[in-house]
Amino acid sequence: MRDRLGEHAGDEKGDLTGPNPVDRGKYGSKIHLITERTGLPLSVGISGANTHDSQALIPLVKGIPPIRSRRGPRRRKPGKLHADKGYDYRHLRQWLSGRGIRHRIARKGVETSQRLGRHRWTIERTMAWLTGYRRLHRRYERKAEHFLAFTSLACTLICYRRLAK
């Protein structure tokens, strides 16, 4: 004789919640962002919610525009990069080192993310500024190009408001 709740279960264990909510097939999108020290966005990208964060680092670093300097050629790379544990992979560390970018990436199982807190709050603040725009708080657009355009427009507005002060 079966249990009444077991008849309607999502799986054999009698779980009523259905599929695992943190599985790899989840919907939505992520905003990936590189900012400078004060929180001005330098490079922005989007990806699906089911892709890993580490896959977005190389395109973001390559997407940083040239920085005009007083002397010499334009700089195309940051001097230092702080990242959380999601980017802790040997091939990313080697890629950054090969480009001459010093990196500070928290190591999985060794360091806590708290040590990056004094640098991470600038990213969190910029992400909060981005989610203040209604179109970015909830994704309404079907096409990724449109969502990326609205994200870039919001980053432009953030830069304009910060630099106009």
Hey, what domains does the chain have and what are their CATH numbers? 27-163 (3.30.420)
pLDDT category at 3 given cuts 50, 70, 90 is: very low
Distance CA 7, CA 123 (A): 47
Angstrom distances, CA of residue 20 to CA of 39, 51, 100, 108, 156: 35, 17, 41, 24, 38
| 23 pLDDT above the threshold of 60 | no
Q: Which residue has the higher pLDDT, 7 or 31?
A: 31
The pair of structure tokens assigned to 140 is 């309404």
Instruction: With cut-offs at 50, 70 and 90, classify the pLDDT of residue 8.
Output: very low
**When comparing pLDDT for 9 and 140, which is higher?**
140
Q: Which residue has the higher pLDDT, 121 or 1?
A: 121
Beta strands in 3-139 (DSSP E): 29-35, 41-48, 80-83, 102-105
Q: Would you state the pLDDT for residue 92? A: 92
Tens-digit pLDDT profile for residues 70-118: 777 777 778 888 887 888 889 999 999 998 889 888 787 776 656 666 6
Read off the pLDDT of residues 140-158 as tens digits, 9 standing for 90 and up: 777 888 888 888 888 999 9
| Residues 123-138, mean pLDDT to the nearest whole number | 81
pLDDT at 143: 81
φ, ψ (nearest 5 deg) of residue 55: -75, -15
pLDDT at 160: 92
Tell me if residue 153 falls in helix, strand or coil: helix
At residue 6, the pLDDT reads: 47
Mean pLDDT of 126-145: 79
Please give the pLDDT value at position 79: 82
